[in-house]
Chain A
Amino acid sequence: MKPILRILGLLLAVEGALMLLCGLVGLAMHDRTSLTMLPPALFTAAVGLLLCMLFNKNRAIADKRMAYLGVVLFWIALAAFGMLPFLTSHSLGTVADAAFESMSGFASAGATVFQTVAALPPSILLWRSLSQWVGGFGIILLVLAIVPTLGINKYSLYTAEASGADNTGKLTTSMADTIRQTLSVYLCLTLLFIVLLWVDGLTLWQAVNTTFTHISSGGFSIFDDGIASLSHSQQLILLAAMLLSGVNFAFLYHLFTLKFKMLRNKLDQISFYLLLNAAAIVFTSLALHYRMDYGWGDAWRCGAVQSVSVVTTTGTQIADTRLWWPPVTFLFLLLSLCGGMAGSTSGGLKAMRVLILLRNVRNALRNRLHPNAVNPVRLNKKPVSQELITNVMVIFFIYLFTLAVAIFVFLLCGVDATEGIGAAVGCLSGYGPGLGNCGGFGSYAHLAPLVKWVCTTLMLLGRLECLAVYMLLFPAFWRR
């Protein structure tokens, strides 16, 4: 337990520092409510530093099971402390609301309980955006840096995550290098898009916030109408940002440094990811044109931006999708469950898992004709191990089970069926907005507190890909 608390201390200290930063930025913008940011910032930092000092000497992991506990604990702690600013600034009244908003930030989901964000103080707006930016990168960091040091078998917990299932996807052999390079890709992209948006006419403040929430595939907005009021070129810049946020970061690093040979082991995933995007764009655009009287230009622009927002589980809204043709919104549910590439900031099941699931089915069909043929599932021309296939299958069913249970709970709480399905998928996949009143420019504000707590849990489960959280529920986990 102690080494975990040490890492937790570090995380909280950083979180406190970031809150302080938001407060200072707010003050610089002459916003008096920013002062309310200081107590939670200092408190979080103090708790963090205290933990660091207390457990400074505990570096080795004694018990592997504690590591699973740690993974879950980190996210819960980040969200729990992250909700304090919402409460102290009185932007949100209840703990359920604040926890929801905070978890939505750190899980980079993008579901919100704010019916309007226009009146929020800048410090709170920045904190929302920043929490997504941190959360988006956090999940990569967790898998690249923290999970290995905790001694968890990567294969069993996050097979398809950042470093890639075949273990060759690591940026370099040295972990420190890996983190530095991934971080540099993330920072470079962030800077690039801030500059692009700024040059294209947004204020620096708007550019920073919007970039933070899109490059992390989060989806919070500082405008009440999503990105609908931005200019067309700005929307297309954001489309590029989202598209990149769904790509494996190692892949991007090799792409940008022109090491094309290293790209080979991700070709299947990237082509599937791009195919998914392309298919979504074509269907949505055609539907917008023929079913909803959009002109061709608007149809393609809105269709493209919204489709990419869905596949990367960003959740940003270019129009009020509540009013869109129902089959399109249904397709959005499915696409957001697929998600982007593993090792990116996007949520969902990830392209690689979906590919393996599909190819396993194809194999099962082939095997019926030639029962004795040896015919492994292949990814990038290499056979996939049985271990990985099972892992993917298990994650898929747990995902589905979670979804089903959540929808039932929503129904029993009296949520409308369409809205319940939308909320469950939106929160679990990390897309954010759901259907009905929760979707489009709407919010989750009208839901009962219990429903909000379930949503918060779903976002946590979705971000951590279920396994680690469910592990804690097994009696065998707690047995000595």
Chain B
Amino acid sequence: MFNHKLIAHITGTLLLIMTAAMLVPLAVSVATRDGAQYAIALSAVVMLLPALFLRNLWGRKASYTMGHRESFWVTSIIWLVVPLLGSVPFMLSGVLPRFADALFESISGFTTTGSSVIADLSEVPPSILVWRSMTQWIGGLGLILFVIAILKKLTAGSVQLYEAEFSGTMQRKLHPHIAKSVSLMWRIYLLLTVLQFVAMLVCGNGMLESLCLSLSTVSTGGFTTTAGGMAGYSQATLGVVTFFMFLSGVNIALVYHLITGKGRMLWRSEEFHIYVLIYLVAVLGSTAALTTAGNSWQSSLGYSLFHVASTASTCGFYLPNPVHWSVWVSAFTFALIVIGAMSGSTGGGIKIKRIMILTRYVHHYFLRMLHPNAVFTVKVDGETVKVDYINKVFAFVFLYIALIVVGGFLLTLGGLNIPNAVCMAAANISNLGPSPLLNNIGASVDYVALSLSGKCTLMVLMLAGRLEIFAILALLFPIYWKKS
């Protein structure tokens, strides 16, 4: 029996929280008198009505039993409905009057991508900027984690939901009880946000900017508040942002251990070693490349530290290009966004853990060809990875690459040239945002000029990347529609 009532109930509950979240931009709007208060209030009402309908009418008396099919459905529905309603403020406030644009901005927000179709950020009311950054913050840990943290009654289903959203990256849970573990994650997330907010204020930034940038950084989102990315900020601010971007790319469970004084857990994680190694190599490499291209080494280093942290965590903030560009940096950037952040972080990409499993397995494969009778096992952090799981990793990475290629193809239909199309597809499926054009990283201009079909393609890619593909693709299979 397909438990549609539960799905309605969960969706409604989440929408109710979203309505409550709308109060923040509303307060900002009233405080700054930016004129968007009616639009935001109306948006809140638009969100409240379906919330009440779904939660209290359709989803009344829902039983809390959940199978695999329901968990996929609820994940997919939530990720469609929430961005859909989240786009209403953009439309009603007149910032993005066209539906497709508003939806694009909203999906880009909730998936923490950070691709923007707003042509001129300086004309956007502060309250809308806050809402924009809030969508990223809400989406950062995943919408499902919201649900799990709130619906305490959903005990058995929680694990499946968790799996549905994070397609089994083999997380060691923080606490045997999933809801407890999820609420710990939320607290860490909140703590990081507050810490960055304070640090930004200390560096002398305004309240609004500090709030928006903190929300966009810890979620590895990448929405900025001014045109031109991070161009106008002080060195100290950039340092703070760099630090928190780097931290956001780390598995949030490990951050918890770090904060609670169990730093050993962090140093013991092989994935973290690789993450740090990638960061250092990329920084050194791109500094060297930019210096030899003719920039001063100080500016090269500064640029590289920021840029690599932004790309490795798939955050997507960008600085103005150095005077002399180097192709090496383009190459690094592309590699970094496809590899992505650590598993269990807010970042996107294939994830370092999967890449580790993949490369180790391929290495073993060669050794096995030389020694057919020897037994090899792939280990991560000392634990043997099962063959079944390796197969899933292979399938995932194959799909990931296939989607980049197919997405790239669809983008060329809209008139982009092939390298640009592939870069843009990769940047969006990895939830980075600004696409690393070959000599020009960043700029929202690319997205504003995109054709409608191009925008639709990118929306699907962003969602697919955020949901680690399987949850979205599963719905295309008849088997998920059949009655059991």
Give me the interface of A with B, judged by CB distance under 8 Å: 65, 153, 156-157, 326-327, 329-331, 333-334, 357, 360-371, 386, 389-391, 393-394, 396-398, 400, 404, 408, 411-412, 414, 417-418, 421, 435, 467, 470-471, 474, 476-477
B370 touches A65 (CB 8 A): yes
A11 to B90, alpha carbons, bound, how many Å?
71
Instruction: Digitize B458-484: 1 where CB-to-A-CB distance is under 8 Å, 0 elsewhere.
Output: 000000000000100110010110000
B391 touches A360 (CB 8 A): yes
Contacts of B372 in A (CB 8 A): 153, 156
B362 touches A327 (CB 8 A): no
Instruction: Digitize B144-184: 1 where CB-to-A-CB distance is under 8 Å, 0 elsewhere.
Output: 00000000000000000000000100000000000000000
Q: B369's contact among A156, A327, A404, A412, by CB below 8 Å, is which?
A: A156
Q: A360's contact among B394, B405, B473, by CB below 8 Å, is which?
A: B394
Q: A361-B395, A369-B69 are in contact. Are A330 and B412 (CB under 8 A)?
A: yes
A412 touches B418 (CB 8 A): no
B68 touches A386 (CB 8 A): no
B398 touches A357 (CB 8 A): yes
Contacts of B422 in A (CB 8 A): 421
| Cβ contacts A to B, 14 pairs, < 8 Å | A156-B372, A330-B409, A360-B395, A360-B398, A361-B399, A362-B477, A364-B392, A369-B474, A390-B394, A393-B391, A418-B418, A418-B419, A474-B370, A476-B367
CB distance from A401 to the nearest CB of B (A): 8
A435 touches B418 (CB 8 A): yes
Q: A368's contact among B327, B368, B421, B474, by CB below 8 Å, is which?
A: B474
Whether a CB of chain A sits under 8 angstroms from the CB of B278 is: no
B479 touches A366 (CB 8 A): yes
Contacts of B405 in A (CB 8 A): 334
Interface residues on chain B, size class: 35 or more
A446 to B375, alpha carbons, bound, how many Å?
49
CB distance from B313 to the nearest CB of A (A): 21
Whether a CB of chain A sits under 8 angstroms from the CB of B269 is: no
Q: B398's contact among A65, A327, A393, A408, by CB below 8 Å, is which?
A: A393
Whether a CB of chain A sits under 8 angstroms from the CB of B198 is: no
A371 touches B366 (CB 8 A): no
A362 to B398, alpha carbons, bound, how many Å?
12
A412 to B438, alpha carbons, bound, how many Å?
12
A329 touches B72 (CB 8 A): no
CB distance from B187 to the nearest CB of A (A): 30
CB distance from A455 to the nearest CB of B (A): 18
Q: Which residue on A lies nearest to B358, using beta carbons?
A: A397
Q: A412's contact among B328, B335, B396, B417, by CB below 8 Å, is which?
A: B328
Contacts of B396 in A (CB 8 A): 364
A467 touches B369 (CB 8 A): yes
Closest A-B pairs by Cβ, 6 of them:
A417-B419, A364-B395, A393-B394, A327-B412, A156-B369, A408-B331
A326 touches B473 (CB 8 A): no
Q: Which residue on B lies nearest to A386, using beta carbons?
A: B387
Q: A326's contact among B327, B365, B418, B480, by CB below 8 Å, is which?
A: B418
B473 touches A365 (CB 8 A): yes
A366 touches B392 (CB 8 A): no
B438 touches A417 (CB 8 A): yes
A333 to B419, alpha carbons, bound, how many Å?
12
Contacts of A327 in B (CB 8 A): 409, 412-413
Contacts of A396 in B (CB 8 A): 398
A156 to B330, alpha carbons, bound, how many Å?
36
B327 touches A412 (CB 8 A): yes
A476 touches B370 (CB 8 A): yes
Whether a CB of chain A sits under 8 angstroms from the CB of B408 is: yes
A361 to B398, alpha carbons, bound, how many Å?
8
B327 touches A411 (CB 8 A): yes
CB distance from B354 to the nearest CB of A (A): 12
A477 to B409, alpha carbons, bound, how many Å?
40
A331 touches B409 (CB 8 A): yes
Whether a CB of chain A sits under 8 angstroms from the CB of B188 is: no
A65 to B371, alpha carbons, bound, how many Å?
10
Contacts of A371 in B (CB 8 A): 68
A398 to B335, alpha carbons, bound, how many Å?
16
Contacts of B331 in A (CB 8 A): 408, 411-412
A364 touches B391 (CB 8 A): yes
B391 touches A389 (CB 8 A): yes
8 A Cβ contacts from B429-475 to A? 438, 470, 473-474
B401 touches A326 (CB 8 A): no
Instruction: Digitize B386-414: 1 where CB-to-A-CB distance is under 8 Å, 0 elsewhere.
Output: 01000110111111011001001100110
Q: A470's contact among B335, B366, B399, by CB below 8 Å, is which?
A: B366
A106 to B368, alpha carbons, bound, how many Å?
30
8 A Cβ contacts from B55-106 to A? 68-69, 72
Contacts of A386 in B (CB 8 A): 387, 391
B417 touches A365 (CB 8 A): no
Contacts of B438 in A (CB 8 A): 411, 417
A333 to B330, alpha carbons, bound, how many Å?
22
Q: Which residue on B lies nearest to A328, using beta carbons?
A: B412
B369 touches A329 (CB 8 A): no
A369 touches B367 (CB 8 A): no
CB distance from B370 to the nearest CB of A (A): 6
Q: B409's contact among A334, A400, A408, A470, by CB below 8 Å, is which?
A: A334
Q: Which residue on A lies nearest to B423, using beta carbons?
A: A417
A65 to B370, alpha carbons, bound, how many Å?
7
Contacts of A411 in B (CB 8 A): 327, 330-331, 438
Q: A357-B398, A368-B470 are in contact. Are A421 and B369 (CB under 8 A)?
A: no
Q: A365's contact among B409, B412, B413, B477, by CB below 8 Å, is which?
A: B477
Q: Which residue on B lies nearest to A390, using beta carbons?
A: B365
Q: A421's contact among B391, B401, B418, by CB below 8 Å, is which?
A: B418
Contacts of A153 in B (CB 8 A): 369, 372
Contacts of B368 in A (CB 8 A): 156
A130 to B308, alpha carbons, bound, how many Å?
51
A326 to B408, alpha carbons, bound, how many Å?
11
8 A Cβ contacts from B297-338 to A? 327-328, 330-331, 335
CB distance from B418 to the nearest CB of A (A): 5
B362 touches A329 (CB 8 A): no
A386 to B57, alpha carbons, bound, how many Å?
49
- Other than the given A360-B394, A370-B68, A421-B419, 14 more pairs (CB < 8 A) read A326-B417, A326-B418, A333-B418, A365-B473, A368-B68, A368-B167, A369-B68, A369-B479, A386-B387, A394-B362, A397-B394, A435-B418, A471-B366, A474-B370
CB distance from A381 to the nearest CB of B (A): 19
Q: A329's contact among B69, B418, B474, B477, by CB below 8 Å, is which?
A: B418
Contacts of A398 in B (CB 8 A): 362
B398 touches A157 (CB 8 A): no
Q: A369's contact among B72, B387, B392, by CB below 8 Å, is which?
A: B72
